[in-house]
A and B are shown apart, each in its own frame.
Chain A
């Protein structure tokens, strides 16, 4: 085995999070940044997201996924960041020792001064949502189908039923249709769509694809290849209602039933995870519980806007650079836990250690609410307030807080949603 290399920063994963973090670390003064990517090219999931709707915050322009990725790829190449493609990290330890493999270098080890985790997320499978029936060919997750169709040029179905109305499910309903397949319908167990209204309108309404709310798939038929699915209406407790079953002939079932942050490496390294987000607990610098290991993007929590992934990535990359340039010697102050207040399910970052600059807080609400106001309270003082006509769980909300020039000591920070009614 060759000698152990000690880059200043290793970024694991080269999707939007990894690209943004590597660039930010480089631009913040690190000369030796290494980017590890398991695929044959940079970009992560973006190259397969050929639809538009990316970049309105970061670039003030509406781009497709590949376009958004291309801008970062061009910059990464120009910045002279060392990229290792086709590279799989096999192990990451809490002392920041990384073991990886690729066809060119074989198995190699790295001991970087800092690490940024940017592994993204994976899709929930049929068993995690417990769909009974057979196990034929033709049951596929929406993101995997997207890759098949847009990258590999292969059609995983011709008459398709989609379960789950998350954005990927909606986008794939349109994509299958435009490729000449028939989408029989989209079925959603909840009584409201899981994705953005824009996607319901432009992916389903535009193509007359029915959306069946309060429905789920209760059986997969077909021993060799999907032949049909049974769809059933569910009651308010999401339990299938007997007698409402309908058999829908189809040759593929496409699942859009949620995403899970990919944290197997984080667990190996002993990084503390938040059970609510399934991602690392991070502070305002995107620093995890393990010294010198930072995290950003969907590995932290599943974002719905790539622009926000980029924002967390830039923060993580800059923080990693700061950490390295300070020699890793800065004492980490004891954290204050950010409180998820009224109608707030979770907040990222979960911890605040140093309130010495403006912070960004990303959160999801627990339930939809009209005429709401989101606000951030620091020791009772309202440092942020913004009105929203409506807040909904599928749409992440961003808030901020500014200490006002100098470091501010604090005991409590709370993010909450209040309504006009309550305030009146």
Chain B
């Protein structure tokens, strides 16, 4: 590829700096949150990401949920940071140009929560289902510090969500729950950090650390070494391996896959308004995950999932036929006639739990200056602000400046989205540059200028998936059938490469394998 790592347009030379005040390993939502928060105190921050874009791991393949914390076990670090993180969110995303929609979570209590044939007198059973269980959920949440929880009668459940099963008997509404696009948030945080002086290096893989006298001295990468006495390990599913490289380990990540089905937003836009989850008693959970739910994405597509399956391979983002069936079966009860035919996509992400299933956040006792932020799985997205806050506290103690910078820029300008503008604004843009009037992606109404902007943004989109995450090209009904070659051509033109060098998501994923006549010995690139 012609361009790796940093963008020559906005991030300066490709060479790594010889030293940095703070190095964050991992450009996921956690690494970028920490980097952005750190730039409030110092511009001398470097983020290293081994993939071709930020948000390429778990941060791009989760359900976009900003949980309230009601699903977490009491007393865990997870629950504490989740509840705090949720409360910090509006402030956290201010100025980023990424929207958090707090559309709430409806927890539905159903007939099968306590099956009829369990031998319990019916009156007692209904008392439990309609009063005691909802009251218990509310009390549990309030005890954790979650505000605004509300018990709903059966009728209120249907008024709120008409498509929910008639088996519903009561519900609890959790208004603080919200959704945010996890990759848009990560990209925005990374860009905001760069605006404030940080440098993000893509395609840069950490291969080791230089540790002397029990303290970290340098980070070794495939592109050279950076001296630094402060390192944050936010490398997701690889956090155990990265920590072990420094001798700062002692925990094990066991990858757990989660698959989600995604539906056409034209069909499912109004299908559920809030997120909907079925309440299950602890014994009824089939997996380690909280059971997932039916929810609109930040963009309005209905999604169902996720599953939870232990896997060997940290790169295993495959989806099996059994998983797809499992999801349909699971949600058939909760939403009996959801539009199965409107399925347009399915994705799978790998969670990064430790054996203890709790977050592992703290300064290494073995290696001074090395901070592990590991075991971050759901509700990691919701907890991100609180995790960053906690990590900043640790970094301050390890020597990161404590004084806020007066020159910190609070705003990351978000590029305009044609589909969200008024016709007047659209026309103003087309007059400025006709590329605003050239619709590239028909399903999602994305214009050429938006693609160009994404390619030349602060964290540049250098492949098809990176453009897609920023602009939604190829995310619609036709899944890129109509626009893939047009996006590829724009990428080639803007990056100054041949179109056969354009990739789906970085090295090893070319979109095209040759030009016409080439396999006949007649063509040249």
* A residues apposed to B, CB below 8 Å: 1, 38, 86, 88, 90, 99, 101-107, 122-123, 125-128, 130, 132-137, 140-141, 143-144, 147-149, 152-158, 179-181, 218-219, 223-225, 240, 251-252, 264, 267
Contact = CB atoms under 8 A, between A and B. Distances in A.
A264 B445 contact: no
Residue in A107, A181, A240 with the greatest tally of chain B CB atoms within 10 Å: A107
B423 to A, nearest CB: 5
A148 B485 contact: yes
Interface stretch (B67-75, B202-210, B502-510): B502-510
B423 A107 contact: yes
A163 B504 CA distance: 22
A144 B503 CA distance: 17
A155 B513 CA distance: 6
Given A1-B424, A127-B344, A155 B516 contact: yes
B504 A88 contact: no
Given A125-B345, A156-B512, 9 more contacts: A38-B442, A104-B434, A128-B343, A136-B504, A137-B464, A137-B504, A137-B510, A149-B516, A264-B266
A379 to B, nearest CB: 37
Nearest to B511: A137
A367 to B, nearest CB: 22
Contacts of B485: 144, 147-148, 152, 154
Interface in B482-515: 482, 484-485, 488-489, 499-500, 503-515
A128 B264 CA distance: 11
A125 B516 contact: no
Nearest to B483: A144
Given A155-B513, A156-B511, A103 B430 contact: yes
Given A103-B430, A127-B345, A137-B504, A153 B515 contact: yes
Given A127-B479, A157-B513, A132 B319 contact: yes
Contacts, number: 155
A251 B434 CA distance: 38
Given A103-B430, A107-B426, A225-B510, A123 B481 contact: yes
Interface stretch (B128-136, B237-245, B320-328, B386-394): B320-328
A328 B196 CA distance: 63
A154 B437 CA distance: 26
Contact of A156 (B266, B341, B482, B513): B513
A276 B503 CA distance: 39
B517 interface: yes
Contact of B506 (A152, A157, A219, A224): A224
Task: Please give me the 5 A-B residue pairs with the lowest Cβ-Cβ distance, nearest first.
Answer: A180-B519, A103-B434, A137-B504, A106-B430, A88-B439
Contacts of B344: 125, 127-128
B317 to A, nearest CB: 6
Interface residues of B, number: 63
Given A38-B439, A103-B430, A90 B317 contact: no
Contacts of B321: 130, 132, 218, 240
Contacts of A148: 485, 512
A154 B498 CA distance: 11
Nearest to B421: A107
Contacts of B437: 86, 101-107
B343 A130 contact: yes
A86 B520 contact: no
A134 B516 CA distance: 27
A179 B438 contact: no
Contacts of A179: 516-517, 519-520
Given A137-B503, A154-B500, A224-B504, A90 B509 contact: no
Contacts of A218: 321
Contacts of B505: 137, 224
13 contacts: A107-B423, A122-B478, A127-B262, A140-B481, A147-B485, A148-B512, A152-B485, A154-B499, A154-B516, A180-B518, A219-B320, A224-B509, A252-B513
B284 interface: no
Given A122-B477, A179-B516, A134 B317 contact: yes
B347 interface: yes
Residue in A126, A127, A130, A140 with the greatest tally of chain B CB atoms within 10 Å: A127
A137 B262 CA distance: 19
Interface in B410-436: 423-424, 426-427, 430-431, 434-436
Contacts of A137: 464, 503-505, 509-511
A267 B503 CA distance: 35
Nearest to A155: B514
A106 B436 CA distance: 8
Contacts of B320: 132, 219
B318 A132 contact: yes
A133 B511 contact: no
A180 B520 contact: yes
A149 B513 CA distance: 11
A135 to B, nearest CB: 7
Contact of B423 (A99, A134, A156): A99
Contacts of A134: 317-318
A224 B438 contact: no
B498 to A, nearest CB: 10
A387 to B, nearest CB: 37
B469 to A, nearest CB: 13
A127 B346 contact: yes
Contacts of B266: 264, 267
A62 B474 CA distance: 36
A103 to B, nearest CB: 4
A126 B261 CA distance: 13
Contacts of B341: 128
Nearest to B447: A101
A394 B499 CA distance: 37
Contacts of A219: 318, 320
Contacts of A157: 513
B426 A153 contact: no
Contacts of B514: 154-155, 158
Nearest to A102: B437
A144 B506 contact: no
Given A102-B437, A153-B515, A223 B317 contact: yes
Interface in B339-375: 341, 343-347
B66 to A, nearest CB: 25
A153 B511 CA distance: 13
Nearest to B516: A153
A122 B319 contact: no
